[in-house]
Amino acid sequence: MRLNAPLQGLNTLAIEASAKFLIEIKKPSDVVDALELAKCNEWPVIFLGGGSNIVFTEDLDGMAMHCLLKGISAEQQGDDVLVTAQAGESWHGLVQYCLQQGYYGLENLSLIPGTVGAAPIQNIGAYGVELEQLVESVYGWDLNQQAWRTLSAEECQFSYRNSIFKQQLMYRFFITSVTLRLSLNDIPNISYGALQQHFKAAGIQSPTAQQVSEAVIAIRQSKLPDPTKLANVGSFFKNPIISQQQQQQLLSQFPDMVCYPQTDGRVKVAAGWLLEQAGWKGKKMGAVGMHDQQSLVLINYQQGDGKDVLDLAEAIEEDIAQRFSIELEIEPKIF
């Protein structure tokens, strides 16, 4: 365990903060030992993966549990394969490993930063696929029940950028492994518009999963800043979901508004479009600002702190509410 440990290198926004106690979780029993220690000392606890979806606003007066659990195993079931990855594995590393083994389904989720253990927290999604479509179960330590527990995909209560781990089980469940149901059949999902355009332009009619992964990587690299070069946490706001009635009202004023119909009859609005319309693309406020190619990505340009980040987020939220009567919701977890 490290005392007063710096966290700047453990969050992709590169915010300077420290944890009174930082403990590395290298085997499942470390989870129980660390939580017991925190309980005895009444320390508040946070869980940390790759730090690509968190914002530190102050030093942590407690214990950060940094997940470094490693290992991947697979079990074939007919045309399916159940892949179990430990929570500290790199997400993109897992995607690449599965492709090499001929286990298909994860290709659209290539290059998402972070760890396997954090992937179910916000039900990561990209290019027409969400994690929930592939999860068989999630395993970990339940702090309420003081027991190891397997949650089925249904019990995880996944929805858009949400799960039970952000609701009832927030900070009550330390994920140690995730089991995914993948396929041995190479039939990729290319329903997403940007992928269809990519393959049309390349003259490829039936791409392989490997080609889909390469396309996703190429598209992401062309528009998303690399957090190792430009500190960021990806999309800073979720795409807001509005009623059809509000959509109609807005479309009469903003006919170009980018929207995606949802299965429940509501409509998801592209938050990036809202920010761009409102002139936030490339706009800086002090040490932080919105990326000049991707309006939704908040960048820490000059060692800004959590307050700088939240001030900018608040200014944007107010502006969007005023212009469009839409409430934005911050995607990363604020500490």
Ligand X SMILES: Cc1cc2nc3c(=O)[nH]c(=O)nc-3n(C[C@H](O)[C@H](O)[C@H](O)COP(=O)(O)OP(=O)(O)OC[C@H]3O[C@@H](n4cnc5c(N)ncnc54)[C@H](O)[C@@H]3O)c2cc1C
Would you count residue 48 as binding ligand X (CB under 6 A)?
yes
d(Cα 303, Cα 17) in Å, to the nearest integer? 11
Distance between CA 139 and CA 173 in Å, rounded?
9
For ligand X, give the closer residue by CB, 238 or 323: 238
Q: Considering the rule CB under 6 A, would residue 270 count as an interface residue with ligand X?
A: no
280 forms part of the interface with ligand X (CB under 6 A):
no
Site string for ligand X, 73-112 (x = CB under 6 A): --------------x------------------------x
The verdict on 46 binding ligand X (CB under 6 A) reads: yes
Assess contact for 178 and 120: CB atoms under 8 A. yes
| Member of 21, 47, 56, 104 binding ligand X (CB under 6 A) | 47
Radius of gyration of the chain (CA): 20
CA dihedral angle for residue 227, residue 199, residue 201, residue 220, rounded to 10 degrees = -10
Choosing from 52, 137, 177, 235, the catalytic residue is: 235
Closest to 161 measured CA to CA, from 104, 240, 47: 240
Which of 12, 18, 163, 300 lies at the binding interface for ligand X (CB under 6 A)?
12
Q: Is 331 assigned a catalytic role? A: yes
Site string for ligand X, 229-268 (x = CB under 6 A): ---xxx----------------------------------
Q: Is the CB of 47 or the CB of 324 nearer to ligand X?
A: 47
Nearer to ligand X, 250 or 308 (CB): 308
Looking at 22, 126, 309, 330, which residue binds ligand X (CB under 6 A)? Answer: 126
266 is catalytic: no
Marked catalytic residue, from 107, 132, 161, 177: 161
Question: Catalytic amino acids?
Answer: 161, 235, 331
The binding site for ligand X (CB under 6 A) comprises 12, 46-54, 67, 87, 112-115, 117-119, 121-122, 124-126, 174-175, 224, 227, 232-234, 333
